[in-house]
Structure 1
């Protein structure tokens, strides 16, 4: 007997949460190995995609896993307390943003806000290769628990 946790978010709640969240964990898989990274993202509800700006060094593990992953998974969540949380898991193919869509992707990403574009690198960002990717939303799970709702 399985008991579902929380309640399903409706489409409006889900899209609003993805548009406003901006930070998550992106998961890749290669040869039975998983690899996850914390990442800033922008959600484009008009095209059903999440946009990412990858900064990659010469020996980037991220580059290897992106190339080998057929279906990526993005998880974003907000936890306030046991009965007050939301989470969204998005799954789908991950691919480079086409050259003719780079300006739109960068503009969409800039709307996420400066506070989510964390600089956690050992060198200046200018020393890394910037590559834009998008996750095509094919599967989406959105749940939450709200105070007073069982």
Structure 2
């Protein structure tokens, strides 16, 4: 079914303000990078600057598939979603460009990255691995949400 058809069941498109608030309230999404055959997808924590960029830190080794796929990608997609119940969920899809951050960029976004969630395993490993900063520049954004029971399932007022 299309989004237009799902509106009859309570699905709504998110406004730009709702998308920004949602991105600011979340910390993890799924990054999709183009690769030959099928996309390379992986979960990653992020920080949103409140405007048009997300920031990722990669923990990578000498032959990182993630870094190699990122460095050749012209565009990427990023999906952030939250599901409270089957009748209450939100989903935001972003498309944009990824660029490796410079050394000076770390200083500019260090305060933003302080709140980025990472598994403890990655925190420990970052002491011995390469940590790189990437900026995801948002070029297109869309979001949908469903809040509450769909029409026909709501309790009747009697």
TM-score (structure 2 length as normaliser) = 0.83
Query: Equivalent residues in 2 for 1:108-123 (5 A)?
Result: 108-112=112-116, 116-121=117-122
On the 8 A contact 1:94/1:134 being kept in 2, the answer is yes
Query: Aligned to 1:28, which of 28, 33, 38?
Result: 33
Match of 1:45 in 2: 50
Q: How far apart are 1:149 and its partner, in Å?
A: 5.6
Q: How far apart are 1:63 and its partner, in Å?
A: 1.4
Query: The residue matched to 1:17 in structure 2 has which SS?
Result: helix
Q: How far apart are 1:101 and its partner, in Å?
A: 2.1
Structure 1 residues 119 and 37: CA distance shift in structure 2, 3 A: farther
Runs of 4+ in 1 over 4 A off after TM superposition: none
CA RMSD of the aligned region, Å?
1.9
On the 8 A contact 1:97/1:105 being kept in 2, the answer is no
- Rg larger in structure: 2
Match of 2:66 in 1: 62
Match of 2:23 in 1: 18
CA distance in 2, matches of 1:42, 1:149: 33
Query: Equivalent residues in 2 for 1:53-132 (5 A)?
Result: 53-112=57-116, 116-121=117-122, 124-132=125-133
Q: How far apart are 1:38 and its partner, in Å?
A: 0.9
Q: 1:17-50 CA deviation, whole Å, 9 max, x = no partner?
A: 101101111111123431111110001124x100
CA distance in 1, matches of 2:25, 2:108: 18
